[in-house]
Amino acid sequence: MLQTASVRARQFYQLTKPRVVSLIVFTAFIGMLLAVPGAVPLQPLLAGTFGIALVAGAAAAFNCLVEQKIDALMARTRRRPLPQGAVSAAQTLLFAGLIGGAGLLLLYRWVNPLTMWLTLATFIGYAVIYTVILKPLTPQNIVIGGASGAMPPVLGWAAVTGEVSHDALLLFLIIFAWTPPHFWSLALYRRDDYAKAGVPMLPVTHGGRFTRLSVLLYTIILSAVTLLPFASRMSGSVYLVSALVLDAIYLVYAVRIVTRYSDALARRAFRYSIVYLSLLFTALLLDHYLGI
């Protein structure tokens, strides 16, 4: 009985795409810590983090529901609970509604209404605008839809301050510029999967060379954007040095993707992009508290 309950809990947990949500929660948490000069009040820190995590998990589950037929065709996703028949569509919809509603209620009651409304808008942006409309319609889906993925630090900032400042928007801009090279690196080595599923990702519609050049272009844009926190005096030398080193490594990957492409290289670039964003936001945090 306990074993069966544990398996079912794990299946529903997998619907929330925990690795994706962990990065969302991490950047939201950093946004909270950067929003104030000293210690963050405990209530918005805990309730905000948990509420954002619940809504992010609900959005991921809804994404799994909408894309279950596509997921069944792709090697990367065919083992998810819905394609495997481990959970039903009705169960997934109920689960997403319950945890999403709980998250929004938590944000409204114990954080502030602005954070709740911004989080709801982010949910709609990802689960509906990106998943239902943009992804099957345009190869620029990840560029336009990336706005939703860039919102977590803004949500964290709003949870603590009750407002959205220009510094919070700089954090948004960093993730917004990071998303295309991050995701297109994945799409390059998963091109056949996307083609088989009929998803118009950039490598499928415009070919590998165009996509590789786009990865390089957006990595250059990202490198410039990451300097804005220092230029605006949001951060200091610790962040600047860290950003320059991280950007240099990312640019090497991007150049090699253009000049010496292989699927293995694209896979390494994709993995580095996750490490890159984590370390970049960690550098922002260290700089914030060290004050150098």
For 76, the token pair is 């990367």
Domain boundaries, the chain: 1-161, 165-292
Residue 244: pLDDT over 90 = yes
- For residues 147 and 130, give the distance between their C-alpha atoms in angstroms, rounded to a whole number: 10
Structure tokens at 240: 């600047």
**136-to-66, 121, 180, 201 alpha-carbon distances in Å:** 11, 21, 17, 9
One DSSP character per residue, 15-49 reads HT-HHHHHHHHHHHHHHHHHTSSSPPPHHHHHHHH
Distance CA 59, CA 49 (A): 15
For residue 111, give the nearest of 58, 41, 35 by alpha carbon: 41
| Dist. CA 184–CA 180, nearest whole Å | 6
Interacting residues of 143 by C-beta distance below 8 A, sequence separation 6+: 179, 180
Distance of CA 290 to the CA centre of its chain: 27
| CB-based contact 258:212 (threshold 8 Å) | yes
Cα 88 to Cα 65: distance, rounded to the nearest angstrom: 9
Percentage of the chain beyond pLDDT 90 is 76
Give one DSSP letter per residue of 222-243, joined into a string: HHHHTTHHHHTTSS-HHHHHHH
pLDDT of 2 over the 70 cut: no
DSSP state of 278: H
Summarize pLDDT for 58-112 with one digit per residue, the tens: 999 999 999 898 888 887 888 888 888 889 999 999 999 999 999 999 999 999 9
pLDDT, mean over the chain: 93
| Domain 1-161 belongs in CATH node 1.10.357.140 | yes
Q: Residue 205 above 90 pLDDT?
A: yes
Higher pLDDT, 81 or 177: 177
Q: What are phi and psi of 209, to 5 degrees?
A: -65, -45
**What are the tens digits of pLDDT across the range 117-147?**
999 999 999 988 988 888 888 888 888 888 9
Class at the top of the CATH hierarchy for domain 165-292:
mainly alpha
pLDDT of residue 292: 54
Distance (Å, whole) CA 2 – CA 144 = 44
Of 118, 232, 107, 112, the C-alpha closest to 161 is 112
Contacts of 5 (CB under 8 A, 6+ apart): none
| CA gap 154, 179 in Å, rounded | 16
Q: Which of 72, 91, 96 is nearest to 16 (CA)?
A: 96
> Would you say residue 1 has pLDDT above 60?
no
Report pTM.
0.93
Q: Which amino acid is at 196?
A: K
DSSP-derived 3-state class of residue 162: coil
CB count within 10 Å of CB 233 equals 8
Q: Are 48 and 107 in contact (CB under 8 A)?
A: yes
Q: What angle do CA 229, 231, 234 make, to 5 degrees?
A: 40
Model confidence at 3, in pLDDT bands (50, 70, 90)? Answer: low
